[in-house]
Homo-oligomer: A and B are copies of this chain.
């Protein structure tokens, strides 16, 4: 059987046709403009492909509740042209196949759990640190959803003693995303993270916030593995700083051999799938 997959991101839509093993037969990348420009190109790509079902991993917030009548509709987002766009319904109408939707980070967690760096464990967390901070998770065999989808980037963090930055989040000012996403780094220091690689305090502060978040995620979700990706995590030295802070902050409270200085590098890891985590995860959504 052939399935369709859409990775709907803030800068690009990736569309693919593939199978339940994650094999991609055809793929196209379309810039994210407004729906009137972007979506017709999406529909054109899937025309006559013979797909039976479609999976979408989307930027959020997106309604994932089947009982609301607005399943798969984009909610309020800084990408204002997309607010209230019924993504799943429209895709289903123009392609003629059923659509399953989830968040971009949940589908990335799904594909990492099948083919990436979270194989062999029953639960995992996938965190992306870039323009924003988001996370998805696999718990009890499925992606994590409920009242809505998680918004893990918006948890409160304690301020680093040397940090006076106000924070960038329009809703909470100094939540995790407001203090540690790429734009926060750039506004705090006056230049982007890529130009600050040698400034130790930049990364000490960054690791302090991200480690606090991971510690909270561990206390609340207890994932068996934590995967960290996104533009900010390209600063590879961040991994060891975060790992050290996580072990220090847990202070031995959670009994696990993985949460020790010797083993934590097997617990907090980069993604195993680089460019295709999202699109492969969306294929699996369709195939399930």
A residues contacting B by CB (< 8 A) are: 61, 63, 75-76, 122-123, 139-142, 144-158, 171-172, 212, 215-224, 249, 251-256, 258-259
Q: Which residue from B61, B142, B156, B222 sits with its C-beta under 8 Å from A158?
A: B156
What's the Cα separation between A249 and B219 when bound, in Å? Answer: 21
Q: In the complex, how many angstroms separate the beta carbon of A148 from the nearest chain B beta carbon?
A: 5
B255 and A75 contact, CB distance less than 8 A:
yes
A256 and B158 form a contact (CB under 8 A): no
Given contacts A139-B139, A156-B215, A156-B216, contact A223 B147 (CB under 8 A): yes
Question: Quick one: which of B150, B220, B249 contacts A150, CB cutoff 8 A?
Answer: B220
Residues of B within 8 A of A142 (CB): 140
Contact partners of A259 in chain B: CB under 8 A: 147
Interchain CB contact under 8 A, B216 and A255: no
Interchain CB contact (< 8 A) of A171 among B76, B146, B216, B252: B252
Q: Across the interface, do B146 and A61 meet the contact criterion of CB distance under 8 Å?
A: no
State whether A220 and B155 are in contact (beta carbons under 8 Å apart), knowing that A123-B146, A139-B139, A139-B144 are contacts in the complex: yes
Contact A219 B152 (CB under 8 A): yes
Chain B residue at minimum C-beta to C-beta distance from A135:
B220
Question: B149, A222: Cβ atoms under 8 Å?
Answer: yes
12 A-B contacts, Cβ less than 8 Å apart?
Answer: A122-B146, A139-B144, A140-B144, A147-B254, A148-B256, A150-B222, A152-B220, A154-B219, A158-B158, A171-B251, A171-B252, A217-B220
**Top 8 closest A-B pairs, CB basis?**
A146-B222, A140-B140, A123-B146, A140-B142, A171-B253, A151-B219, A155-B216, A220-B220
Task: Write the nearest CB–CB distance from A85 to chain B, whole angstroms.
Answer: 14
Known contacts A140-B142, A171-B252, A172-B253: A147-B220 contact under CB 8 Å: no
Verify A147–B219 contact, CB threshold 8 A: no
Known: A61-B255, A76-B255, A139-B144. A216 touches B220 (CB 8 A): yes
The answer on a CB contact under 8 Å between B254 and A148 is yes
CA–CA, A144 to B224, complex, Å?
Answer: 12
**A147–B224 CB distance below 8 A:** yes
Q: 5 new A-B pairs (CB below 8 Å) besides A75-B255, A147-B256, A155-B219?
A: A140-B144, A148-B256, A154-B253, A158-B158, A220-B220
